[in-house]
Amino acid sequence: MGSFVQAAFLQAQKALEDFIGIPDNIDLMSRSVNILVETIKGNGTIYSCGNGGSMCDAAHFAEELTGYFRKKRPPVRALAINDPSYMSCVSNDLGYEYIFSRFLEGFGKSGDTLVALSTSGNSPNVIHAAEVAKKNGIKIIGLLGKDGGKLKKLVDIPIIVPALTSDRIQEVHIKIIHILVEGIERSLYPENYN
């Protein structure tokens, strides 16, 4: 059993090293922080969405922004699209592939940003959300995996973790989320990092 545990940690380490080893990823992260900060300064809303573990990561991202990360500061307007009654309604009436896009049709506006999570890059409901976001002038940051899938070309900034399994991809995604939140705080509340 010990060898399995060590192998899992080494695989996670390799996934992170592979991601860091792609020079463009650092620039994409910086550009993402800039977009998110512009959204906040413009009184826009940051939305996030994903399925399964990625939905949990989307919620984690939103709560780090509406709460706080390291030190107390004002809340940031952020919302994960994950209300179960809303999702069951739209799934039942329109189809599961519209649970995120329908929400953005109702609430999203130009000046907002969508953080779209998909480890495959091919989740139909996240693709529909990206299409609606693009149509409505909402910027899109994609936290993706493998080769980026179909979402790679739909999002404004594709941040792709080139690992092969969802668990390794999600482990790097949560690190990306924490860095994005820290970047926002460092830009808007630098006194929290003195």
- pLDDT of 194 reads 85
pLDDT at 101: 98
Strand-pair category, 139-145 with 113-118: parallel
Determine the Cα–Cα distance for residues 88 and 94; give it in Å rounded to an integer. Answer: 10
21: DSSP letter: T
In the structure encoding, which two tokens stand for residue 17, read together? 């090293």
Distance CA 182, CA 17 (A): 20
Across the strands, what pairs with 143?
Answer: 117, 159
H/E run at residue 49: strand 46-49
pLDDT at 1: 59
Question: For each successive 10 residues of the chain (194 residues), what is the average pLDDT?
Answer: 86 96 96 98 98 98 96 96 97 98 98 98 98 98 98 98 96 98 97 91
The third-level CATH classification (topology) of the domain covering 2-193 is Rossmann fold (3.40.50)
For the chain, which residues make up each domain, given as ranges?
2-193
How much of the chain is in helix, strand and coil states, percent to nearest 5? 60, 15, 30
Q: How many residues does the chain have?
A: 194
Tokens standing for 58? 């989307």
Distance CA 90, CA 67 (A): 28
